[in-house]
Structure 1
Amino acid sequence: MGQSLVKNYLHIVFSTKYREPLIYSPFEEELHAYLGGICKSQECYSLKVGGYTDHVHILCMLSKKLALIKLMEDLKSHSSKWFKTKDKSLDNSYWQDGYGAFSVDHHQVERIINYIANQREHHKSQNFKDEFRGLMKKQEIP
């Protein structure tokens, strides 16, 4: 085969440090767009970016040219620096060290897009900690 064919959908989740609720309007939509732009610059095209006050979800396609750890470093470092410039109240905002990155079957892409789009509704009944534990359980991660 003379070419490399890759199609890896990833559902990425990471939170603010100490799960502080820092992501609000008017910066929330800008942050999600900025994260999508970082993905695009790395050829990891995002299908949906969303989240809630203390975390973000990104559904993207991992580029065949890039390791996941490099994408995560870029997402977190660049967005953290940018986010702090938006308002003086965000000077002490940071991302938590860890993250979750889960492979998504192409048949499940629409379901994940809808899941990310409905984060506000979802978090009326479940906090991020429980949500993340549920994601790990579905992926059979202890």
Structure 2
Amino acid sequence: MFKPIVKRKELRLWRKKLTVYHIQNGCCKYHIVFTPKYRRKIIYNQYRSSLGEIFRRLCQYKGVEIIEGHLMPDHVHMLVSIPPRMSIASFMGYLKGKSALMMFDKHANLKYKFGNRHFWAEGYYVSTVGLNEATIKKYIQEQEKHDIALDKLSVKEYENPFRDNGK
């Protein structure tokens, strides 16, 4: 027979320490990024304001705090604080699923662009946030400037290096 490496008493103490850790820190913080289906540049004007309102309402209902967020035309950045009882996977399924349904209900013309009610692409990026919270907040706030700078770089990539620039 196999003997357990960790004794029951030690395991109980370890579980208690883990629980105390979650209680002391309150909630788990995550940086999340996800995109519309086919990475379409659709998040602007009325869609942008609708999504912001929908995200706030859905997060409030689940007890999730949006610490920082930014809606770009082709992706969403969020820094959220999620209660430890909820997994990130279940939260993302809820957020993407419900927000898609609410967007299709609110904006009927989206069904022509996306077809069968798939507003969001499969998957998402997530990372935990610890001591680097301020850095991630700054990154999310400056995301638009960063994307504009990258767009300018990509334009230069297609310029002809052999073309005479008016000289």
TM-score, length-scaled by structure 1? 0.77
Structure 2 residue aligned with 1:133: none
| 1:41 paired to 2:65 | no
The CA deviation at 1:55 is: 0.9
Query: Residue deviations 1:59-108, cap 9 Å, x none?
Result: 11121121111101111011111112333432226101110110011x32
Determine which of 115, 118, 138 is the counterpart of 2:142.
118
Structure 2 residue aligned with 1:85: 105
Higher share in strand: 1
Gaps of 5+ in 2: 1-15, 152-167
Q: Name which structure has the greater RCO, CA cutoff 8 Å, separation 6+.
A: 1
The CA deviation at 1:110 is: 2.6
Q: Identity over the aligned pairs, expressed in percent?
A: 25
Worse-superposed segment, 8-17 or 86-95? 86-95
Paired residue secondary structure (1:96): coil
Structure 2 residue aligned with 1:104: 129
Paired residue secondary structure (2:69): strand
**Aligned structure 1 segments of 4 or more residues deviating by more than 3 angstroms:** 1-4
Gaps of 5+ in 1: 128-142
Q: CA RMSD in A?
A: 2.1
Matched residues, number:
126
Paired residue secondary structure (1:123): helix
Cα distance in 1, alignment partners of residues 150 and 95 from structure 2: 25
Structure 1 residue aligned with 2:28: 8
The structure that has the greater radius of gyration is 2
CA contact (8 A) 2:50 2:103 kept: no
Higher share in helix: 2
